[in-house]
Structure 1
Amino acid sequence: MRAGRLTKKWFWRWRSNPLRRRVDVLEAWLVLAACALIAVGGTLAGTVTALAADGVFARQRAERTAVHAVLLTDTPAAAANSYRTRAKVRWTDHDGSVHTGTTLVSSGKNAGAGVTVWTNIQGALVTAPPSREAAAVEADLLGAGAALAVTGLVVGAWAGTRWWLDRRRIDEWGSEWDLVGPQWGHKTS
């Protein structure tokens, strides 16, 4: 036999073998179940999460409206770490009612300048909805995160199960040694 050659047998835990224990068969089935959970559960969780997030973003795009507003206060020049600042604005709603509120606008604008703000169905100021491209990227990232979370849970559960199986094997070896060990302590001559 060559040095360094692997002699690994595939599916050895399912083959008939006098050294095979019930714990080995249980471990083989648990490995198969964990792989199936990762493949199917991770894919399903990622897909459902991505579709749900995409639905939320589509609803936001449908419910939010861009409205022309006028700045009521000057905004300070851009600071080194910020290009947007909070300012008071006034806008006219689609029903003709005039509203005022505070929102984020570009820095360095004077009072009376026109800005675009976003309102929801009730007429309250909200953030701009994500574009289709940004929403698709965010939905994909959320879906991938959900798939990785399911994978992490399955791997963590498998690690705990593997620890329990190893402890059980060690206990079985200890009880078998208790039966066989005293016979080896006797002198033969």
Structure 2
Amino acid sequence: MALRGPRAWLWRWRRNPLKRRADVVESWVLLGAWAATVLVGVAVGLLTSGSVERGMARERAEWRPAQARLTQGTPGVPNGEQMWAKVSWTAPDGSHRTGQVRVSPGRAAGSAVTVWTDRAGRLVTAPATAAQARLRAALAGVLVGTGAAMVPFAGGRTLCGRLERQRIDQWAAEWARFGPMWGRTTG
């Protein structure tokens, strides 16, 4: 720590007589990799978030609640957990449909249950509210954006690792060439 001076910003681009061409290449590779990481992560995250939110908004617009009837009663359960039960309902095209939904225990056969259906009259889950959709879209955007950002980041790290190995091999070759000369004396 005693020999450490103040941190120099942008040290990779400063003039230095000892700087090699490989050092300049590495600095540009790092800059490009970081820029690509940020740009790819943000762009993919925003696109994913927008796509998820539009999809959920379309679900809210297209999915409709429908009245269904239990075809068989549900037994009363002491813990009160919802259970699967068969229901029947009429689809928008007038056809008679049946399916299974989760209902509270202790319901009698023939009691009314609200179910959600799509345009074709198939059972679907209740659509996400606008707040839930924003949260899900944001989480999906962050996760997918982070995953996409790993590609240029890993590529940059791999390329820098190769440059480092090349530099070490070059240094070893130079050391093998000039190292033996250090033991000689002139005279």
TM-score by length of 1: 0.87
Deviation at 1:188, TM superposition (A): 5.1
Unpaired segments ≥5 residues, structure 2: none
- CA distance in 1 between counterparts of 2:177 and 2:96 reads 91
Partner of 1:121: 119
Structure 1 consecutive aligned stretches of length 4 or more whose deviation exceeds 4 Å: none
Q: How many residues align?
A: 187
* Secondary structure of the structure 1 residue equivalent to 2:5: coil
Worse-superposed segment, 69-78 or 141-150: 69-78
Q: Which amino acid aligns with 2:170?
A: E
Code of the residue aligned with 2:48 in structure 1: it is: T
How far off is 1:187 after superposition? 4.4
CA distance in 1, matches of 2:129, 2:145: 24
Deviations 1:110-146 (A, max 9, x none): 2122111111111111222111111111001001112
Q: Which residue of structure 1 lines up, in the alignment, with residue 8 of structure 2?
A: 9
Task: State the distance in 2 between where 1:24 and 1:77 align.
Answer: 74
Q: Deviations over 1:35-88 (max 9, x none)?
A: 2112221111111000000111111112211001111112234475x8222211
Task: Give the distance between the partners of 1:176 and 1:76, measured in 2 at CA.
Answer: 84
What corresponds to 1:161 in structure 2? Answer: 159
> Following superposition of structure 1 onto structure 2, how do residues 22-171 of structure 1 map, counting pairs within 5 Å?
22-78=21-77, 83-171=81-169
Q: Percent identity between the aligned chains?
A: 40
3-state SS of paired residue (1:13): helix
Cα distance in 1 between the residues matched to 2:174 and 2:42 = 44
1:12-48 deviations in Å (ceiling 9; x for gaps): 3223322111111111111111221122211111110
Three-state SS of the structure 1 residue aligned to 2:113 is strand
The answer to whether the 8 A contact 2:92-2:119 is kept is no
The alignment's C-alpha RMSD in Å is: 2.2
